[in-house]
Amino acid sequence: MRPYWRAFALAVLLGLATVGSSVGLMATSAYLIARAALMPDIAVLSVPIVGVRFFGIARGLLRYAERYVSHRATFRLLAGVRAWFFAAVEPLAPAGLIDRRGGDLLASAVGDVEALEQLYLRVLAPPLVAMLVAGLTCGLLAIFSPQVAMAVLSLQMIAGLALPLLIRRQSRRPAAEAVARRAELLATLVEAIQGLPDLLALGAKGALLARVRCQGEALARAQERMAALRGLGNGLVGLMGQLAAAAALLLGVPLVRAGQLDGVYLALLALTAVASFEAVAPLSTALQSLELSLAAARRLFAIADTLPQVTSEPTCSPVPLDASVELDGLSFSYPGAAQPALRGVSARAAHGQRLLIMGPSGAGKSTLASLLLRFWDGYTGTIRIGGHNLRDYRAEDIRRMIGVVAQQTHLFSGTVRENLQIARPEADDANLDIVCQRARFDQVLARLPEGYDTWLGEQGARLSGGERQRLSIARALLKDAPILLLDEPTAHLDAEAEREVLAALAELQRGRTTLLISHRPEAQRDGDAILTL
């Protein structure tokens, strides 16, 4: 909140002025009605009449200004937290997120961040405003009767301190449960939507619905407990406000009878006491909101505090001498794994050569690709790219040097143009035309209704598997990296689609150092060197 402290401080002052206007309106109107009952000269009433008008108008204007300033600052804060969270998660991918569900990350990025909205609006600002208003009203009441001021202050302490502590204690468990149940439900829904075709094909819709219903009911029970505690807190604060009015009357009436207090001020004391509890009312659930915010913050920090695989990087990268790739005694084990994924691997692809990486499924081919891209660290041995040790490069720089065509191409929900320009945002249509023609994607483009502006849908649903691969090849061509990493690029394709993709890949590999990962024996005929795992 530090970057926005001025806006939040202004919001607190506006909150004080708003509640102060409410207190002033009640006190002035009470005095006006009591004084008017004595039928004085109209000139005597002119000042309280103006006061009622002023406080009545000011209350509405100040309330609007306070809400506008506080919510604007809060939404800016949440936008900053979302950007911070994504920046914290990005270095963890993919290795640091391998044990986390996508829906759980979504719940943190959206739901948990959204829960922090309450931190200022319901937790930090209300106590500050309440303390200032309590001081204001008790100072006002003390002018007429110190006893009334002390009685009202005591009830304010009960409503604003003792009651919130009790509500917080009771809310700690349901608050944590509500945050956790919401995250579980969102994770289930995200996975269910992504795998909906398989669920329908396997007839598992009923089991999914039962699971969603069970998780939804668990979330509802936690929210009901929170709501019941909020209702209890609000009711008890209202009761304290009425008791404050009764206390003001019980202590004020004897003072009037004794001639120590003008009777015209009796209503002012009672209604001022009631009005002061407008500032105290939010405190009954402030600590409950704190528990929700803390539970959400713990989930955010648990992810953000995860150490990335690459924990230290050089400040700058060396200039590569060429586009060669060399492995020397490379070994690597996944955390907690009983067997190493790679052991003593050595190979070399000189500049412009083609290295085939062969082996059955599970032999470590994709692991090797992840190490080259610095997704994982902790290996022993040496990886040299461009004549320099891989660890001498910044991860961002090494990824600029390598173009990737994977077996499962991820296409974002956007247009063809947007999916291509991920590789080079400044590329114009002329550049796109060239790479699409070289990747054999121009024929597909001609069939699309709006060309580059055609919306592809989720995961490129409007394209076939072979068409998605050709789009991925076009993207790699647009990136124009000197080293090319092909990870089973023709897997899951039929014979015709495979021929088209291989023809496009031949164009892509021209002049580049290529590492082709495959388990197909027929790929061996085209390699300058072969590494078998």
Whether pTM > 0.85 for this model: the answer is no
Q: Is 316 helix (H, G, I), strand (E, B) or coil?
A: coil
| Measured distance CA(218)–CA(404) in Å, rounded | 43
DSSP 3: G
Q: Would you say 372 and 390 are in contact if contact means Cβ atoms under 8 Å apart?
A: yes
Write down the pLDDT at residue 364: 85
The three-class DSSP label of residue 404 is: strand
For residues 503-532, one letter each, b for 16 or more C-beta atoms within 10 angstroms of the residue's C-beta and e for the rest, the string is: ebbeebbeebbbbbbbbeeebeeebeeebe
Q: Report pLDDT for 178.
A: 87
The answer to whether 371 touches 533, Cβ cutoff 8 Å, is no
Please state the domain extents for the chain.
2-304, 325-532
β-strands 402-405, 483-487: how paired? parallel
Can you tell me whether residue 140 is helix, strand or coil? helix
Count the neighbouring beta carbons within 10 Å of the beta carbon of residue 283: 25
**Taking Cα atoms as reference points, which of 27, 11, 222 lies closest to residue 137?**
27
DSSP string, 414-472: SBHHHHHHTT-TT--HHHHHHHHHHTT-HHHHHHSTTGGG-B--GGGTTS-HHHHHHHH
Say whether 309 sits in a helix, a strand or coil. Answer: coil
CA distance 170 to 231: 13
The H or E element containing residue 34 is: helix 5-36
User: Residue 245's pLDDT is what?
Assistant: 92
- Return the pLDDT at 217: 93
Closest CA to 492 of 524, 467, 511: 467
With CA atoms as reference, report the closest residue to 141 among 249, 51, 56: 249
CATH number of 2-304: 1.20.1560.10
Q: H/E element holding 329? A: strand 325-332
- Give the residue among 153, 133, 160 at the shortest CA–CA distance from 24: 133
What digits encode the pLDDT tens for the residues 454-496?
A: 888 777 777 887 788 888 888 888 888 889 888 877 765 666 6
Q: Which two tokens stand for residue 407?
A: 């077996």
What's the CA gap between 433 and 427, in Å, rounded?
10
Q: In what order do the strands lie in the sheet with 342-349?
A: 342-349, 325-332, 380-385, 388-389
**Quick check: helix, strand or coil at residue 488?**
coil
Q: How far is CA 48 from CA 63, 267, 362, in A?
A: 22, 14, 85
Q: How far is CA 351 from CA 321, 367, 372, 504, 513, in A?
A: 10, 22, 16, 21, 6
For the record, the structure tokens of 452 come out as 């580059």
Residue 4 contacts residue 77 (beta carbons within 8 Å): yes
- Give the closest residue to 299 by CA, choosing from 175, 216, 477: 175
Nearest to 112, CA basis, from 81, 80, 134: 81
The helix (H) or strand (E) run that includes residue 169 is: helix 163-194
φ, ψ dihedrals at 94, nearest 5°: -90, -15
The residue count of the chain comes to: 533
The C-alpha atoms of residue 275 and residue 277 are separated, in whole angstroms, by 5
DSSP lists the bridge partners of residue 132 as none
Q: pLDDT tens, 159-175?
A: 888 888 888 888 888 88
CATH architecture, domain defined by 325-532? 3-Layer(aba) Sandwich (3.40)
Residue 523 is predicted with a pLDDT of: 52
Containing H/E element for 258?
none
Tens place of pLDDT per residue across the chain (533 aa): 888 889 889 998 998 899 889 989 999 999 999 989 888 888 888 998 999 999 999 999 999 999 999 989 888 988 888 888 888 888 777 766 776 777 777 777 887 888 888 787 788 888 888 888 888 888 989 999 999 999 999 999 998 888 888 888 888 888 888 888 888 888 888 888 878 878 888 788 888 889 999 999 999 999 999 899 888 888 998 899 999 999 999 999 999 998 888 889 899 999 999 988 888 888 877 777 787 788 888 888 888 888 777 777 788 888 888 888 999 999 998 887 888 889 999 999 988 888 888 888 778 888 888 888 888 888 899 999 998 998 888 888 888 898 888 877 788 888 889 989 988 888 888 988 888 888 788 888 888 888 888 888 777 777 887 788 888 888 888 888 889 888 877 765 666 666 766 777 777 777 788 888 877 655 556 678 888 88
What is the pLDDT at residue 151?
93
- Give the separation between CA 472 and CA 411, rounded to whole angstroms: 8
Residue 184 corresponds to which tokens in the numbers above?
A: 């579980």
Decide the pairing of beta strands 402-405 and 325-332.
Answer: unpaired
Q: Which residues have a Cβ under 8 Å from the Cβ of 67 and sit 6 or more positions away?
A: none
The pLDDT value recorded for residue 109 is 81
Among 391, 240, 239, 260, smallest CA distance to 318 is for: 391
